């Protein structure tokens, strides 16, 4: 590997060529930006979609059911039709924010086998790095350390892209969507899925995935349970699960042991925000992603974020819509607009029963006539109501929902008129 001291200058650099980065690039181009460069660390664009061979993607964006690779291919083709370059096998190591002078660029330090060590200067940057899975070490499961313990996404890649079998008898910890989908995938590959175990008293996956991936294949789901022991020398031999109490502490005497050779972990996703922190953007401790305005601009002017690097989404269609906002926001910034400041912003606050809101703020003067605020509730609730209140506690609007669930992101339409009278608004689940 040689060092390349040549500097490449672009108007817009996008970190990540998965569904968020591709959609942001297309939206920025269609908004007038022509000098765009996508940077992708993998060998091909498309991101996580390339290993998601099941259907169910694209109903909102394309009005039809697509597999993950089909959905990704449509945006890869759109980028190619616009002549947007994608530099593959390129890792962004660091992002330096602009120096405190007029017109100073962002500096991205990149590394790859084709160009070596290089610096890219960009007038604006969109972060679209996606997220990563929590591992066994992150949740501290006790026991032996045999082979046969995988994150669900790793197992999905091994089966769907590499053509390997990961095991014959499996237990799955966590009922997030990828864990549910892998229960079905393993079954279709001839493995026996003994059970799916969920720490919480409710599932963290979409209702349709519980029906299609568990119920249709008679896979039992144990709520308020967790894995409390792993045994195996060389290869996994057995897994012990236990019921947990209201404080999520295992209850002695409730243990069940399963003879198995595979344990999949579907225990949460973490936004990939190391670069965001290096750039100095403010982070929301609730999501692990950056604080953003309605156009997905972070606390650093010219630095935008979208997709799972911002907050973990249910559907890739929602990622596409959010990425389009970021692409248009970057185009507006490059055209001389779109710089939000704290003095101009109206803030949104998650209140009782709400985990987080995105965006976190909106620029009052530049706000569109209506926009969407995304959020997740903390607890499931049938016939739920979400209320929006001003700083004095006055209810601005109520949204009724037949069902509220942490696994399903809520979308609330807020109008410019609703934020005309205050600087801060709270969203709550009504008791």
Residue from 82, 91, 81, 97 nearest 118 by CA: 91
The contacts of residue 179 (CB under 8 Å, 6+ apart) are 152, 172, 173, 196, 205, 264, 265, 266
Res. 2: pLDDT tops 60: no
Res. 244: pLDDT tops 70: yes
**What separation in angstroms does the CA of 88 have from each of 16, 24, 35, 153, 376?**
10, 17, 17, 21, 34
Res. 47: pLDDT tops 80: yes
What φ, ψ does residue 67 adopt, rounded to 5°? Answer: -80, 170
Res. 382: pLDDT tops 50: yes
Cα–Cα dist 287/271, whole Å: 8
Read off the DSSP letter of residue 215: G
- Please write the tens of the pLDDT for every residue from 130-175: 999 999 999 999 999 999 999 999 999 999 999 999 999 999 999 9
Residue from 407, 282, 429 nearest 347 by CA: 282
Question: Which position has the higher pLDDT, 44 or 206?
Answer: 44
Under the banding of pLDDT at 50, 70 and 90, the label for residue 344 is: confident
Res. 1: pLDDT tops 50: no
Looking at residue 104, what is its pLDDT? Answer: 87
Res. 338: pLDDT tops 80: no
For the chain, the helix, strand and coil percentages under 3-state DSSP, each to the nearest 5: 25, 35, 40
- Please write the tens of the pLDDT for every residue from 297-328: 999 999 999 999 999 998 999 999 999 999 99
Is 422 exposed, middle or buried, given 0-12, 13-18 or 19+ CB atoms closer than 10 A? middle
Report helix, strand or coil for 70.
helix
Residue pair 157/46 in contact (Cβ under 8 Å)? The answer is: no
DSSP for 344-386, written as a single string: GEEEEEE-TTEEEEESSEEETTT--SEEEEEEEESS-EEEEEE
The pTM assigned to this predicted structure is 0.94
Under the banding of pLDDT at 50, 70 and 90, the label for residue 207 is: confident
Q: Which residues pair with 345 in a beta bridge?
A: 363
Under the banding of pLDDT at 50, 70 and 90, the label for residue 42 is: very high
Cα–Cα dist 293/277, whole Å: 17
- Taking the CB of residue 7, how many other CB atoms lie within 10 A of it? 11
The contacts of residue 423 (CB under 8 Å, 6+ apart) are 345, 346, 347, 391
Res. 264: pLDDT tops 90: yes
- Taking the CB of residue 104, how many other CB atoms lie within 10 A of it? 14
Read off the DSSP letter of residue 94: E
> What percentage of the chain reaches a pLDDT higher than 70?
97
Sign, Cα dihedral of 239, 240, 243, 248: negative
Res. 390: pLDDT tops 70: yes
Cα–Cα dist 138/148, whole Å: 17
**What separation in angstroms does the CA of 404 have from each of 171, 182, 347?**
28, 25, 24
Residue from 143, 204, 145 nearest 172 by CA: 204
Segment (H or E) for 163: none
**Mean pLDDT estimate for the chain:** 94
Looking at residue 365, what is its pLDDT? Answer: 83
**What separation in angstroms does the CA of 245 have from each of 137, 200, 225, 242, 248?**
22, 10, 9, 10, 5
Under the banding of pLDDT at 50, 70 and 90, the label for residue 99 is: confident
| Residue 331 C-beta-side C-alpha neighbours within 13 Å | 17
Res. 31: pLDDT tops 80: yes
Residue pair 313/25 in contact (Cβ under 8 Å)? The answer is: no
| Residue 398 C-beta-side C-alpha neighbours within 13 Å | 10
Residue 65: asked if its preceding bond is cis (omega within 30°), the reply is no
Read off the DSSP letter of residue 145: -
Radius of gyration for the chain, computed over Cα atoms and rounded to the nearest angstrom: 23
Looking at residue 431, what is its pLDDT? Answer: 85
The contacts of residue 416 (CB under 8 Å, 6+ apart) are 364, 367, 368, 369, 370
Cα–Cα dist 362/293, whole Å: 5
């Amino acid at each position: 590997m040689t060092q390349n001291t040549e500097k490449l200058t672009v108007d817009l650099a996008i970190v990540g060529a998965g569904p968020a980065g591709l959609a942001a690039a297309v939206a920025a181009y269609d908004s007038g930006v022509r000098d765009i460069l996508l940077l992708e660390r993998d060998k091909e664009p498309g991101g996580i979609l390339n290993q998601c061979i099941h259907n169910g993607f694209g109903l909102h964006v394309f009005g039809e059911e697509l597999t993950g690779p089909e959905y990704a291919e449509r945006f890869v083709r759109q980028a190619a039709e616009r002549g947007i370059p994608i530099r593959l096998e390129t890792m962004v190591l660091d992002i330096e924010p602009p120096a405190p002078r007029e017109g100073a660029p962002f500096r991205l330090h990149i590394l790859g086998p084709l160009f070596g060590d290089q610096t890219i200067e960009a007038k604006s940057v969109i972060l679209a790095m996606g997220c990563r899975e929590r591992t066994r070490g992150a949740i501290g499961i006790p026991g032996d350390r045999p082979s046969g313990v995988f994150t669900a996404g790793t197992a999905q890649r091994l089966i769907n892209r590499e053509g390997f079998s990961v095991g014959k008898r499996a237990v799955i910890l966590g009922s997030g969507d990828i864990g549910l989908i892998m229960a079905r995938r393993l079954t279709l590959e001839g493995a026996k899925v003994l059970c799916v175990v969920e720490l919480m008293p409710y599932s963290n996956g979409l209702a349709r995935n519980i029906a299609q991936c568990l119920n249709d294949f008679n896979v039992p789901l144990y709520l308020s349970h967790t894995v409390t022991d792993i045994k195996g020398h060389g290869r996994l031999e057995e897994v012990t699960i236990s019921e947990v109490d209201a404080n999520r502490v295992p209850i002695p005497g409730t243990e069940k042991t399963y003879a198995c050779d595979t344990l999949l972990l579907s225990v949460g996703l973490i936004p990939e925000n190391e670069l965001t922190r290096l750039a100095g953007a403010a982070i929301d401790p609730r999501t692990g992603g950056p604080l953003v305005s309605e156009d997905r601009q972070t606390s650093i002017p010219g630095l935008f974020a979208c997709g799972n690097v911002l907050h973990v989404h249910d559907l890739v269609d929602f990622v596409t819509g959010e990425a389009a906002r970021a692409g248009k926001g970057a185009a507006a910034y490059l055209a001389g607009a779109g710089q939000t400041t704290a003095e101009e912003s109206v803030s949104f606050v998650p209140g009782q029963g709400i985990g987080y809101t995105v965006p976190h703020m909106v620029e009052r003067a530049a706000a569109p006539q209506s926009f969407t605020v995304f959020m997740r509730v903390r607890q499931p609730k049938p016939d739920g109501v979400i209320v929006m209140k001003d700083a004095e506690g006055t209810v601005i609007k109520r949204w009724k929902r037949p069902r509220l669930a942490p696994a399903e992101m809520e979308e609330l339409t807020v109008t410019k008129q609703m934020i005309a009278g205050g600087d801060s608004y709270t969203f709550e689940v009504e008791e």
